[in-house]
Chain A
Amino acid sequence: MISLTLHIWRQNGPDDTGRFQTHRMTDIDPDISFLEMMDLLNEQLMADNKEPITFDSDCREGICGTCSMVINGRAHGPGHLCTTCEVRMRQFADGDEVWVEPFRSRAFPPVKDLMVDRSAFDRIIQAGGYITVHSGPKPEPNANPISHPVAEEAMDAAECIGCGACVAACPNGAAMLFTSAKINHLNLLPQGQPEAISRVLGMVDQMDKEGFGACTNHAECQDACPKGISIKFISAMNKQYVKATLIEPNERRGRLESQ
């Protein structure tokens, strides 16, 4: 069993300035998860007639991308390739001080305590992160073979869970790892080709409009990404973007705002 001192960010809505609040937790089973420890803390707070800490979580198995805490200055906390919900208490030592904050970025407005608004990511997808197909009969997939390495690389990009750790970890608050993963997932595949140009232009422009910063090669995003998505996708995106801007607007493939 271990004991910890927790400094947790409390902020009662977007207009509040926010502050750290300190709690002491004792007798923590090292096998429980960090969020189970937070559940226990909330039970304690409620027993003491205090307001529990608001935080986002859902699947608690590292795939939905809902949980979002910066623990001791690191997005998703200690460990590598894991989300906040996958952090176990055995990763802390008895007597540790732990600082817990929300994912901070200009483009992720605070909601309450550790909860933020990440809807900017949805709007980036709306700007082109899809293949236009309606429901109904489609061609036989094996009529269009996709080589194993291409399918695997597309899957490497597609594994993104949209949690926003890349943004929280970036000194510039850039969303380039997220945006490039989404673009490359589709642009690597033959099915994604008809809209490839409008996709990269639309999504990059929307990313800028949302107020995310620019990439200056810190690579913190790759380190924080729970799915290990590589920054090679950022350079691939940049290359596609530059190429796309060189094509005359009326010769660009796919749907564009101006058409």
Chain B
Amino acid sequence: MNLDARIPDGPVQEKWSRHLEHAKLVGPNNRPKYDIIVVGSGLAGASAASSLAAQGYNVQCFCYQDTPRRAHSIAAQGGINAAKNYCEDGDSVYRLFYDTQKGGDFRAREANVYRLAQLSHNIIDQATAQGVPFAREYGGMLANRSFGGVLVSRTFYCRGQTGQQLLLGAYQSMQRQIHDGKLTMHTRCELQDVVVIDGRARGIVVRDLITGEIRSHAADAVVLASGGPGNVYFKSTNAINSNATATWRAHERGAGMANPCYVQIHPTCIPVSGNFQCKLTLMSESLRNDGRVWVPRKKNDDRPPQSIPEDERYYYLEERYPSFGNLVPRDVASRNAKIVCDDGFGVMGEGTRAVYLDFKDAIAERGRSTIAERYGNLFQMYEDITDESPYETPFRIYPAVHYVMGGLWVDYNLMTNIPGLYAIGEANFSDHGANRLGASSMMQCLADGYFVLPQTIGDYLHDIFRDKVSTDHPAFSQHEQDVRERIGRLMGIGGTQTPLSLHRKLGETMWEHCGMARTAEGLKQCISDIGQIRDEFWKDLRVPGTADGVNQPLERAGRVADFIELAELMCRDALERDESCGCHFREEHQTEDGEVVRDDERFGNVTVWEYTQKGSPHIKHEEAIDFDLLKPMTRSYK
């Protein structure tokens, strides 16, 4: 497996500009001769598809939704970071780089992170030009708020719907390209296989979710922007149809999977309320700007929060982390919520675990109307779900699976180890290390899609000029046959369990053993549970109806089959990474007061897994990480 990251020479600050100066290009007259496939239409996919089409390439974009505007990026609430230093509070490109590297616990590539920080300005400029209505101050200037893990205000926002507005900006640019005939959109289509011919990605096989037709599409490059696999855990903040099929199929065809065990558990979500719940709702991290997190000092205190006096409240984040307080990074906030609940201080409501997020002081200090303007829609959302008003009684919150930092391995150009196959956005592993800071995922998706990929893809394409492959190539019919057989197998088991019930079982064991805290013993147990679930799945699954039309249980069955495989790899990765770092917390490696203990000697690297063949164990590879600008240090938010 070729894991040359192709990071340019020179000082970190100059790598990206030097790279652009020397990258090979495809001329405007030749771009219409190239076909590019983009899978996924979220922030990364939509921004890449529209930018590539605007440059003149022929772009085909695929999504499972009925329109590209519905991709799950739309649910991102709080904001997007940029090192604009509008608040003159000491921000800079270096500071954003520093915060992201430290936040990621020194497990990301410096060159990528620095580039991300450099491009952050451009994203705000680009989105504003597209008509994204960022919040403005009364003087007409852009407004900022703060997010966890940083000491500056650099987050730009559109109320609590920043992801929606940024996605609509990218979606509208796509629609313009569709109107011009440069971009073809294939909605309600799901990727089933990636076609690799003579070592290069040459196309994909999809299933039309309306007609059930299995179809091939050929191209000169394939870009996967299919998001992350948080739904491995069944209950997550992801959209219920988000899945890992595209990245897993690419992995089975030879693409390396990097750091799959790095899973972010978001600290502020509405607690689980029942067995049938499949979706957890996130409450934006921006709430921690004004809300204070606490639990009762007395164990199993069952008094209502209002009647617990101030001196009997344990503001555990403020006490343990005085300099960052409630704005510690997500992994730290989540882990502390788990610790206080494990110790018996949690707020027990109807059998759920939770901590309080209280706006009492903020409302007293700033007034109800200011708080309503900042967070009104989030307060409303919480009240709709729980029937409790956060204006009157504190939010009850608990961590939930939210984002996966790991993903397909990519080089500096965002190309996987399969030439011509790219991965962008959450689908790749590149920028967030072992923990992602808030308001950074949209920044990465849009940097990848608007500014990086459109300028690096030419470097690959220019070489394969006139070397075309069409869907007549026998590899396509072979792949289509594989897909049909697989679907036939799923339809033909004729057992008793539904895809949803098996998915729930998988999620339960993953949350228990591969969630916020992991042990070698637990992970081994989880791998054995997964083996059992896999057996049950392939022996006792029931999918009703036929494969020749709309069949939602069949769609889920296909996704669950891939989640099962990925889950096992995530556990194995977590098991072999015998250290704690960022979100990956191995109970064997912690300080006395429960902070993570890294082992840079042995694990200051990226783990990349190579698929061999069905049933055989993966082969482990490593990419060393160089630290030129910022040496790893103990991460402290005290």
| Bound form: Cα–Cα A33–B164 in Å | 23
Q: Which of B130, B159, B210, B450 contacts A131 (CB 8 A)?
A: B130
| Bound form: Cα–Cα A133–B141 in Å | 21
Write the nearest CB–CB distance from A166 to chain B, whole angstroms: 16
- A105: Cβ under 8 A from any B Cβ: no
| Residues in chain B near residue A236, CB distance under 8 A | none
| Residues in chain A near residue B336, CB distance under 8 A | none
Please tell me if the beta carbons of B141 and A142 are within 8 angstroms of each other in the complex.
yes
Stretch at the interface among A2-10, A69-77, A183-191: A183-191
How many residues on chain B are close to A (CB under 8 Å)? 79
| Bound form: Cα–Cα A142–B133 in Å | 13
- A208: Cβ under 8 A from any B Cβ: no
- A167: Cβ under 8 A from any B Cβ: no
How many residues on chain A are close to B (CB under 8 Å)? 75
Please tell me if the beta carbons of B387 and A43 are within 8 angstroms of each other in the complex.
no
Please tell me if the beta carbons of A58 and B240 are within 8 angstroms of each other in the complex.
yes
- B65: Cβ under 8 A from any A Cβ: yes
| Residues in chain A near residue B241, CB distance under 8 A | 58
Write the nearest CB–CB distance from B398 to chain A, whole angstroms: 16
Q: Which of B72, B74, B131 contacts A186 (CB 8 A)?
A: B131
- B471: Cβ under 8 A from any A Cβ: no
- B549: Cβ under 8 A from any A Cβ: yes
| Residues in chain A near residue B50, CB distance under 8 A | 135
Among residues of B, the one whose C-beta sits closest to the C-beta of A125 is B175
| Bound form: Cα–Cα A50–B542 in Å | 11
| Residues in chain A near residue B226, CB distance under 8 A | none
Please tell me if the beta carbons of B168 and A133 are within 8 angstroms of each other in the complex.
no
Please tell me if the beta carbons of A66 and B550 are within 8 angstroms of each other in the complex.
no
- B594: Cβ under 8 A from any A Cβ: no
- B481: Cβ under 8 A from any A Cβ: no
Best-surrounded residue of B135, B161, B176, B500 (most CB of chain A within 10 A): B176
Which residues between 121 and 155 of chain B lie within 8 Å of chain A, taking CB atoms?
122, 124-126, 128-131, 133-142
With A46-B553, A118-B66, A147-B136 as given contacts, are A36 and B175 in contact (CB-CB < 8 Å)?
A: no
- A146: Cβ under 8 A from any B Cβ: yes
| Bound form: Cα–Cα A131–B172 in Å | 8
- The tally of CB-CB contacts under 8 A between chains A and B is 206
Please tell me if the beta carbons of A115 and B550 are within 8 angstroms of each other in the complex.
yes
Among residues of A, the one whose C-beta sits closest to the C-beta of B499 is A46
- A211: Cβ under 8 A from any B Cβ: no
| Residues in chain B near residue A112, CB distance under 8 A | 549-550
Write the nearest CB–CB distance from B129 to chain A, whole angstroms: 4
Please tell me if the beta carbons of A162 and B69 are within 8 angstroms of each other in the complex.
yes
Please tell me if the beta carbons of A57 and B175 are within 8 angstroms of each other in the complex.
no
Write the nearest CB–CB distance from A63 to chain B, whole angstroms: 5
Best-surrounded residue of B168, B274, B498 (most CB of chain A within 10 A): B168
Q: Which of B126, B158, B240, B282 contacts A57 (CB 8 A)?
A: B240
With A32-B276, A88-B384, A162-B69 as given contacts, are A141 and B175 in contact (CB-CB < 8 Å)?
A: no
Chain B residues near A (Cβ < 8 Å): 47, 50-51, 54-55, 65-72, 74-75, 86, 122, 124-126, 128-131, 133-142, 158-159, 161, 164-165, 168, 171-173, 175-176, 178-179, 185, 187, 210, 239-241, 273-274, 276-279, 281-282, 380-381, 384-385, 387, 450-451, 454, 498, 500-501, 542, 544-545, 549-550, 552-553
Given contacts A46-B542, A66-B66, A147-B140, 9 further A-B contacts (CB under 8 A): A58-B70, A59-B239, A61-B281, A118-B66, A122-B67, A122-B175, A133-B130, A148-B138, A191-B129
Chain A residues near B (Cβ < 8 Å): 13, 29, 31-33, 36, 39-40, 42-43, 46-47, 49-52, 54, 56-66, 79, 81-82, 86, 88, 90, 111-112, 115, 117-119, 121-122, 125-127, 129-142, 145-148, 151, 154-155, 158-159, 161-162, 185-186, 189, 191-192
Q: List 7 A-B contacts (CB under 8 A).
A: A29-B276, A31-B273, A52-B552, A62-B381, A88-B387, A112-B550, A138-B126
